Structure 1
Amino acid sequence: MCDMGGLDNLIANTAYLQARKSSEGDLRELQKRRKSLSLPPPDVCRKEIKDTIILDFQSICVDQPIGRRQFRDFLKSVPEYLMVQELLDEIHDWELEEGSAKEQLLQSLVCAIQVKNTGQMYACKKLDKKRLKKKNGEKMALLEKEILEKVHSPFIVSLAYAYETKTHLCLVMTIMNGGDLKYHIYNVGEKGLEIKRVIFYSAQICCGILHLHSLNILYRDMKPENVLLDDNGNCRLSDLGLAVKVKEGQPINTRAGTNGYMAPEILKEENYSYPVDWFAMGCSVYEMIAAQTPFRDPKEKPNKDEVKRKTLEDPVTFNHPNFTPETKDICKLFLAKKPEERLGSRSNDDDPRKHNFFSSINFNRLEAEMVDPPFVPDPSVVYAKDIADIADFSEVKGIDFDEKDNKLFKRFATGAVPISWQQEIIDTGLYDELNDPNRQSSGKYSFSDGEKKSGVCSII
């Protein structure tokens, strides 16, 4: 059987290492492409921008990376607004001051890719169209893409582009080369993680789950295998294939998740909501410490019925010596059998980040990515299982597409995600190049018969 976790990390990591060894010819080609780019005239895109962007301060001046930058540049250009700029900076610094009180049903192939115009590296998740249709997974793939479009958090993988080829639907996302937490728990050094790493990763995971819940999104597949590390050692939630939108008046009772991490209410096929993510969070914290899930004995042969029984009936026990009093307490609260008694769900303002387990974490600084991770992955190491453990995909035969399929594929392939694209343009320096008044561009922006074309659009 194919080990997808190993395949994801092996391909992404090795290809990424090769891409970082760019030759002089590659750099010249990148420079040539960037010189060919140019911005469209303001009058051409003004109406489209007004029709597609929410015209409020939060959206334009805070959420949109280019809008945020332009707003600050504007403040700097007007003398009487300089005080406003300084005030915003002071508020930002104060909020970040130390001590301040204040989610495998669909198989996929992942590879590393590089955007030709900017040089930015990403991971590309390729979903086989025929396999999707055979398993009735087309709508689930579209739902994952639509959910990823809404998510903008440093603790969840970001979607940058969505496109289709003749055979695949492709999601271009944040590249994560540090491996998943499951690999680190069981394959790097002694089994289990140091407590400082457990606290750090748990804090980032909590922030990611809270961001999803704020968007009315239920993760449903929280487990260490779905938490990936980047080059710097920060972690992000990945694989939102089982995520679902929570809608008022529409109860959720479909069995979904991974055995050993599913909450009692899912196992009993009752209606459930956000508390199931916190139960899975408790299972994950426990596993990071003990290198086993709370309701499964690694010495026993895996048995789904026994894991279900233990999850529903048995109290959680803490036999590993690395469980501190705070760790035991937060695990007990996350693993409460009744959802209304579970940490994060006991009241409307029940925030897991307030627990003493996180007393060493300044969440304002953490969310601003100003806290140094306790572990930095070695860039020369591939954090994945041996290639011998990875099998090839078999070709899916006897599947034909109809007009309904083609319409869904077109809904999927919407191109660049605005906020992620803006951040890429800024991070790679292309924004400054395009706005340099002395820049000479060989690119042309032309349109005819109402069709707009831009050199920026042909990304991959």
Structure 2
Amino acid sequence: MGTSPATQPSPKGPKVNPPVPKCSTKCLNQTSTLSSSSSSCSSSTDATLDEDLLNISFGSSSTVTTTTTSTTDIKCSTSSSTAAAEDGGSAWRCPPLAMSDLRFLRRLGSGDIGSVYLVEMKVSGAVFAAKVMDKRELVRRNKVGRARTEKEILEAVSHPFLPRLHAAIESGRWSCLVTEFCPGGDLHVLRQLQPAKRFDEAAARFYAAEVVVALEYVHMLGIVYRDLKPENVLVRSDGHIMLTDFDLSLRCDAPTSATFLLSDSSSGPKFGPDPRRFPATSCILPGCIVPAVSCFHPMRRWKKRSTKKSVPDVVAEPADVRSMSFVGTHEYLAPEIISGDGHGSAVDWWTLGIFVFELLYGVTPFRGADHESTLANIVARALEVPTGDAAGSVSNAAREFIAALLVKEPEKRLGSTLGAAAVKRHPFFDGVNWALLRCATPPYVPPTPSASRAADMAAKDSSSDSNVPYF
């Protein structure tokens, strides 16, 4: 769900139009409800919303910025609860948020199944991003399953680098997902502002590390993201990232993640008996079923303790999630998706390689003259790394990292077996403190203007005479 304040047309072209993915129909969490000025607000008609959406106007195309919004801005007023208690009624509950409770300021961008708007709560003035989808268009274009998948995933996830779903609003015609607004834009726009339109290696490492952690989390939930690209990585007000737009993600009903601990075999304490000393069948006591050591030989061979402390890694990859769908953005498609052989979580590590390549070099590695030549290059052409001035100051570790991710055979690709645990161990990430990644200093923090300036910008947008088409 793109919430970038300044969206530029991407040279990569539109997403591939996929069939409806198999999605879970079970709601994992109840969606948050927000306060409104009165209970009558929740009975708004679609006609009012139509007027709100169709009358959204633009000022200039400059980037919209605003003050940081805390979650306390959207909670219910305690005065209403007190009043209900005085009446002797039951515990007062917030009425569900209605579309009429939102003031649509401007459109931030549009995607395949809807458009994203900057909205303001009429009661508190807090701003959010709202992805609005036309239900009739979803039915006509057979996209209902994709919209349902995105909603269910946003309800299920809770992670600092993923969106927080504040509310899901349903009306007769519209479906709306309200999430955090990211004033820093997306990495595609931010890259265009860099010298030579590419990030330095330190910045690319920072953004790649946070993306790896986000992918690790969704893989733990049995979700394959399938749409990683700079346009879908947003910059929050604190400079950290938010991975967005989950309508192409693959998610299964049953848990499919294979989770286990991985320790470094060359370090760490190793305790326990040596099973080679005593045969497992040497015990003859009644009720004793194949013990690890002989009951008559209590001697144990203990291996020497190591002075090094071993920090185990959690490996959680959705090993059984497979799909035959042809989905994604052309320049980021993995070879197994193009060939139609079926794909799993390894496609996310392929797209990570394309993502890092683009951040460092300013282009994608397999781009052709058109979509078909791009797909042919992905399947058949070997990876070519720019040289000379185009290469910049990219280190050998970065080039090797990209090459390990862009292996065409998914079973040989970095991360395909051990997931993020293997990716994190690559020398490209040397020096990254994964435990304190959220505390690292971002390479870019968007400016935070005063509240009055944000209000003036919103007023300027709403006073314009131009209308915004929805689709």
Please report the TM-score for the alignment, with normalisation by the length of structure 2: 0.59
CA distance in 1, matches of 2:147, 2:331: 24
Query: 2:244 matched to 1:238?
Result: yes
* Partner amino acid, structure 2, of 1:286: F
Give 2:247's aligned amino acid.
Answer: G
Query: 1:147/1:304 Cα in 2 relative to 1: closer, same or farther (>3 Å)?
Result: same
SS in 1 for 2:207: helix
Hey, what's the Cα distance between the residues in 2 that align with 1:316 and 1:252? 26
Q: 2:336 matched to which residue of 1? A: 265
Q: Give yes or no for contact 1:108–1:128 (8 Å, CA) kept in 2.
A: no
2:163 maps to 1:157: yes
The structure 1 residue matched to 2:121, chosen from 93, 114, 120, is 114
Matched, 1:376 2:382: no
User: Offset of 1:347 from its aligned partner?
Assistant: 3.7
Q: Which amino acid is 1:375 matched to?
A: Y
Partner of 1:141: 147
Distance 1:31 1:244, change over 3 A: closer
Q: Distance in 2 between matches of 1:354 and 1:34?
A: 49
- Once the two structures are superposed, what CA deviation does each residue of 1:312-339 show, in whole Å capped at 9, x if it has no partner? 1222122112321111011001111011
Cα distance in 2 between the residues matched to 1:306 and 1:14: 34
Q: Measure how far apart 1:111 and its partner are.
A: 1.8
- Matched residue, 2:50: none
2:409 to 338, 350, 364: 338
Instruction: Output the aligned Cα RMSD.
Output: 3.7
Name the counterpart of 1:306: 373
1:19-40 deviation per Cα after TM superposition (whole angstroms, max 9, x unaligned): 779xxxxxxx999945434599
| 2:382 aligned residue (293, 297, 315) | 315
1:36 aligned onto 2:80: yes
The percent of aligned pairs where both chains have the same amino acid is 27
Q: 1:115 to 1:294 in 2, by over 3 A?
A: farther
Whether the aligned pair in 1 keeps the contact of 2:354 and 2:406 (CA below 8 Å) is yes
Equivalent residue in structure 1 for 2:230, among 224, 228, 245: 224
Does the 8 A contact of 1:15 with 1:112 survive in 2?
A: no
Could you say what secondary structure the match of 1:143 adopts?
A: helix
Which residue identity does 1:314 align to in structure 2? R
Judge which range, 175-184 or 130-139, deviates more: 130-139
**SS of structure 1 residue aligned to 2:332:** coil
Does the 8 A contact of 2:227 with 2:248 survive in 1? Answer: yes
Instruction: Give the one of 340, 353, 357 matched to 2:428.
Output: 357
TM-score by length of 1: 0.61
- Please list every run of 5 or more consecutive structure 1 residues that lacks an aligned counterpart in the other structure: 22-28, 46-103, 396-460
For 1:125, the aligned partner's letter is K
State the AA in 2 paired with 1:106: I
1:367-446 → structure 2 map (5 Å cutoff): 369-379=438-448, 392-393=468-469
Distance in 1 of aligned mates of 2:385 and 2:218:
30
Contact 1:289 1:322 in 2 (8 A): no
The alpha-carbon deviation at position 261 of structure 1 amounts to 0.3
Question: Which structure carries more helix by proportion?
Answer: 1
Structure 2 residue 266 is matched with structure 1 residue 197: no
Distance 1:362 1:115 in 2: 42
Q: Which has the higher strand share?
A: 2
Corresponding residue of 2:175: 169
CA distance in structure 1 between the aligned counterparts of 2:239 and 2:3, rounded to whole angstroms = 21
In the TM superposition, what whole-angstrom CA distance separates every residue of 1:65-89 from its partner, at most 9, and x where no partner exists? xxxxxxxxxxxxxxxxxxxxxxxxx
Residue equivalent to 1:79: none
Q: Which has the higher contact order (CA 8 A, sep 6+)?
A: 1
Assess if the C-alpha contact under 8 Å between 1:275 and 1:342 holds in 2.
yes
Return the alpha-carbon distance in structure 1 between the equivalents of residues 384 and 225 of structure 2. Answer: 26
Q: Distance in 2 between matches of 1:358 and 1:340?
A: 22
Per-residue CA deviations over 1:354-404 (Å, capped at 9, x if unaligned) read 1111112111111xx21121211233599xxxx99x993257xxxxxxxxx
Q: Where does residue 36 of structure 2 map in the other structure?
A: none
- How big is each residue's C-alpha offset from its partner over 1:108-132, in whole Å with a ceiling of 9 and x where there is no partner? 2322333846x65421111122222
- Paired with 1:326 and 1:378, the residues of 2 have a C-alpha distance of 33
Q: Cα–Cα, structure 1 residues 13 and 230, in superposed 2: closer, same or farther, change >3 Å?
A: farther
Q: CA contact under 8 A between 1:229 and 1:236: conserved in structure 2?
A: yes
Unmatched 5+ stretches in structure 2: 9-57, 92-110, 257-319, 455-460
Q: Kindly tell me: are residues 122 and 335 of structure 1, through their superposed partners in 2, closer, same or farther at Cα, counting changes over 3 Å?
A: same
User: What amino acid sits opposite 1:173 in the alignment?
Assistant: T
Structure 2 match to 1:286: 357
Q: Is the 8 A contact 2:169 2:177 kept in 1?
A: yes
Mapped to 2, the partners of 1:345 and 1:316 lie a distance apart of 19
> Contact 1:260/1:296 (CA < 8 Å) preserved in 2?
yes
Correspondence list, 1:448-459, <5 A: none
Task: Give the Cα separation in 2 of the matches to 1:138 and 1:114.
Answer: 27
The size of the alignment, in residue pairs, is 314
Matching residue's letter, 2:469? F
Tell whether the 8 Å contact from 2:117 to 2:129 is kept in structure 1 after alignment: yes
Query: Which residue is equivalent to 1:80?
Result: none
CA distance in 2, matches of 1:147, 1:173: 13
Written as runs of structure 1 = structure 2, the 5 A alignment for 1:74-89 is: none
8 Å CA contact 1:113–1:124 kept in 2: the answer is: no
Give the partner amino acid of 1:308: L
**Is 1:105–2:112 an aligned residue pair?**
yes
**3-state DSSP class of the match of 1:272?**
coil
Structure 1 SS opposite 2:330: coil
Note closer, same or farther for the CA distance 1:273–1:40 as it changes in structure 2 (3 Å cut): farther
Q: Distance in 2 between matches of 1:120 and 1:37?
A: 21
